Chains A and B, each alone.
Chain A
């Protein structure tokens, strides 16, 4: 059998790929799975008439996963609709944060390893300093400081839109700012290993510039462990986004929001998680399986790219 695809035929990894394909499929076909109402401003939350006297309504035709409302208000949300549309937010957030944090970390680690010596020592010191930084403190810091720095205005140019995207959501900025360190660390280890190899020396001898060597020869050879990390991180970031939404630190994970609403009905006196399972468990399972899918994909990629290390 072909060596290159064999690891993916192990059922765990295949399962991971299937889960991710499922979520991507749901994200793409969301308008068909959960058609938004025509003539209204789009929102990932669909309010449905209150049919169970201010209490969550159980699953029934038209409401596959029932409804849940915030505390004892009459505004009930269609859980299925929100979970389907939340897939888009989750994928967008996970992929964007991983892409930005990962590419910054890889660049940092590669540049530091490429120049080596004193530069490497200083840059890795900075990296070590950031490793001691808890994500939650970083996010809290940005949530608190950004409103003073950046006044949201309607973006006009592309650059402004990017700024707007980052600064309008301090959570995302905090995630990028405080999660690039593992990438830098792992890339740096690889970079120091191949720095003195002949093909880099040859490229230098041929008079290639620093930038050319870095991007053409250096980074492509050392990026594979970082890609494995990235696959696992997509799931981890979405889980963390939901966590921060849940504890009220900003972030707009719809899955997290459903869990906030659901929590009220199961941990307050008289709540029963088995009786009202639909307010918490479906959203929790969606979140957990999303994380598992990316984790399995990471394991599979790891075995595929570094077969010797993982065995």
Chain B
């Protein structure tokens, strides 16, 4: 088996362990609530409004059926078996099946996350290397100053100021996902949703204007989201490059007369990459928090927008638990992606994971 496959397999296994720990802890907290609240985790779909008596009967039935008065391990196993089968519960506030609602909104969140990853990772790596290359000179100072400013701006103030300038004063980049006429067209049956990502679907449907409009709407959110992560990644890349450039093999390569750009971009870059990507993987969770904030401020109808709005009303157990687990899964997928990139580039990582 090639090492990279074994690497991915071992990472997948650790994802399952992580999910097990997270669900056990979250369900443990849910266990502190009284049984009739836990019963809402299993509520079936109800079309018409129920009277209090009917509702009580339903709750009693759920308590019986899912052993809600039993000890924690029994209940956890029951809940997990339901959960694995895709029965994530019905939310009266969302008026929808929780899992279905999550899946329907996923492409929107995925699009935003994907583009910001595509923007800040290459830019962060490149600017880190360039700053290290010009260490102590003006390029480096400008980079450090802008990285400092970028990390000090809270994401929501940045988003609001960007919107105030580039949408209200200069009508260049509006919020939401698409302009209204195009949005109505996308919702109609003549537009086929292949992936759910509007930028890709526009091209697949032969409607380039939809893709371009979707990109135009993505510019501000992606910028606001990427700025702080770009700065963090760039800083780590810079310091890890500087460390790498002091190694003996670099001196030896310099002495052999290898051109400087090859030295920087091929020799040192590959070795300096793993700490930088590893730190990005660790901040994947804060990226998700950023995505949620941006979705709410720019009114992008993604997963977090829907779920966090639902929490503003009456507390509801099923979507709260599902949203928490869903967000962990998203973060784990992003982390897995970054780990795999790291392993492809750096053989040390895929070899050590086997032991």
With A136-B289, A295-B152 known as contacts, the answer to whether A144 contacts B164 (CB < 8 A) is no
Taking a contact as CB atoms under 8 Å apart, the answer to whether B26 and A141 are in contact is yes
Taking a contact as CB atoms under 8 Å apart, the answer to whether A269 and B324 are in contact is no
A271: B residues at CB distance < 8 A: 164, 168
Return the contact of B296 from the options A133, A135, A247, A292 (Cβ within 8 A).
A247
B284: A residues at CB distance < 8 A: 132
Taking a contact as CB atoms under 8 Å apart, the answer to whether B17 and A125 are in contact is yes
Q: Cα distance A125–B17 when bound, in Å?
A: 8
Contact of A273 with B by CB under 8 A: yes
Q: Cα distance A220–B147 when bound, in Å?
A: 33
Contact of B108 with A by CB under 8 A: no
With A141-B321, A145-B33, A288-B154 known as contacts, the answer to whether A136 contacts B292 (CB < 8 A) is yes
In the assembled complex, the CB of A40 is this many whole angstroms from the nearest CB of chain B, namely 30
Return the contact of A134 from the options B29, B161, B317, B327 (Cβ within 8 A).
B327
Taking a contact as CB atoms under 8 Å apart, the answer to whether B331 and A133 are in contact is yes
Q: Which chain A residue lies CB-closest to B169?
A: A272
Taking a contact as CB atoms under 8 Å apart, the answer to whether A273 and B33 are in contact is no
Contact of B46 with A by CB under 8 A: no
Taking a contact as CB atoms under 8 Å apart, the answer to whether A148 and B33 are in contact is yes
Contact of A49 with B by CB under 8 A: no
B25: A residues at CB distance < 8 A: 129
Q: Cα distance A134–B34 when bound, in Å?
A: 26
Q: Cα distance A299–B189 when bound, in Å?
A: 56
Taking a contact as CB atoms under 8 Å apart, the answer to whether A288 and B152 are in contact is yes
In the assembled complex, the CB of B224 is this many whole angstroms from the nearest CB of chain A, namely 12
Contact of A64 with B by CB under 8 A: no
Return the contact of A242 from the options B37, B154, B285, B331 (Cβ within 8 A).
B154
Q: Cα distance A295–B335 when bound, in Å?
A: 26
Return the contact of A129 from the options B22, B153, B169 (Cβ within 8 A).
B22
A126: B residues at CB distance < 8 A: 21
| Residue of A135, A140, A149 with highest tally of chain B CB at under 10 A | A140
Chain A 158-185 against B: per-residue CB contact (8 Å), 1 yes, 0 no?
A: 0000000000000000000000000000
Contact of B273 with A by CB under 8 A: no
Contact of B129 with A by CB under 8 A: no
Q: Cα distance A147–B320 when bound, in Å?
A: 13
Return the contact of A143 from the options B156, B311, B335 (Cβ within 8 A).
B311
B165: A residues at CB distance < 8 A: 273
Taking a contact as CB atoms under 8 Å apart, the answer to whether A143 and B315 are in contact is yes
Return the contact of A149 from the options B33, B296, B316 (Cβ within 8 A).
B33
Chain B 284-298 against A: per-residue CB contact (8 Å), 1 yes, 0 no?
A: 111011001100110
Taking a contact as CB atoms under 8 Å apart, the answer to whether A133 and B328 are in contact is yes
Return the contact of B169 from the options A131, A259, A273, A292 (Cβ within 8 A).
A273
Chain B 320-346 against A: per-residue CB contact (8 Å), 1 yes, 0 no?
A: 110110111001100100000000000
A242: B residues at CB distance < 8 A: 154, 156
In the assembled complex, the CB of B35 is this many whole angstroms from the nearest CB of chain A, namely 11
Contact of B30 with A by CB under 8 A: yes
B324: A residues at CB distance < 8 A: 133, 137-138, 140-141
Chain A 23-46 against B: per-residue CB contact (8 Å), 1 yes, 0 no?
A: 000000000000000000000000
Query: Which residues in chain A, 139-158, are within 8 Å of chain B measured between CB atoms?
Result: 140-141, 143-145, 147-149
Taking a contact as CB atoms under 8 Å apart, the answer to whether A145 and B317 are in contact is yes
Q: Cα distance A69–B32 when bound, in Å?
A: 40
Majority SS of interface residues in chain B?
A: helix
Return the contact of A131 from the options B282, B296, B312, B323 (Cβ within 8 A).
B282
Query: Which residues in chain B, 16-40, are within 8 Å of chain A measured between CB atoms?
Result: 17-18, 21-22, 25-26, 29-30, 32-34, 37
Q: Cα distance A165–B298 when bound, in Å?
A: 33
Contact of A1 with B by CB under 8 A: no
With A141-B323, A148-B34 known as contacts, the answer to whether A132 contacts B317 (CB < 8 A) is no
Query: Which residues in chain A, 266-280, are within 8 Å of chain B measured between CB atoms?
Result: 266-273, 280
Q: Which chain A residue lies CB-closest to B151?
A: A295
Chain A 277-289 against B: per-residue CB contact (8 Å), 1 yes, 0 no?
A: 0001000100110
Q: Which chain A residue lies CB-closest to B22?
A: A129
Q: Which chain B residue lies CB-closest to A122?
A: B21
Contact of B56 with A by CB under 8 A: no
With A132-B284, A141-B26, A266-B164 known as contacts, the answer to whether A243 contacts B169 (CB < 8 A) is no
Taking a contact as CB atoms under 8 Å apart, the answer to whether A134 and B164 are in contact is no
A135: B residues at CB distance < 8 A: 285-286, 289
Contact of A74 with B by CB under 8 A: no
Taking a contact as CB atoms under 8 Å apart, the answer to whether A280 and B335 are in contact is no
| Residue of B157, B316, B327 with highest tally of chain A CB at under 10 A | B157
In the assembled complex, the CB of B354 is this many whole angstroms from the nearest CB of chain A, namely 17
Taking a contact as CB atoms under 8 Å apart, the answer to whether A132 and B285 are in contact is yes
With A132-B328, A145-B317 known as contacts, the answer to whether A247 contacts B156 (CB < 8 A) is yes
Taking a contact as CB atoms under 8 Å apart, the answer to whether B18 and A128 are in contact is yes
In the assembled complex, the CB of A121 is this many whole angstroms from the nearest CB of chain B, namely 11
Contact of A103 with B by CB under 8 A: no
Q: Cα distance A239–B152 when bound, in Å?
A: 9
Pairs across A and B, CB under 8 Å, 9 listed: A129-B17, A136-B308, A136-B327, A145-B317, A243-B154, A243-B293, A246-B293, A248-B296, A249-B308
Interface residues of B (CB under 8 A from A): 14, 17-18, 21-22, 25-26, 29-30, 32-34, 37, 151-157, 160-161, 163-165, 167-169, 282, 284-286, 288-289, 292-293, 296-297, 304, 307-308, 311-312, 315-317, 319-321, 323-324, 326-328, 331-332, 335
- 5 further A-B contacts with Cβ under 8 Å, apart from A129-B21, A144-B315, A148-B34, are A140-B320, A145-B30, A145-B317, A145-B320, A148-B317
Interface residues of A (CB under 8 A from B): 125-126, 128-138, 140-141, 143-145, 147-149, 239-240, 242-243, 246-249, 259, 263, 266-273, 280, 284, 287-288, 291-292, 295
Closest 4 interchain pairs by CB? A144-B320, A129-B21, A137-B327, A134-B288
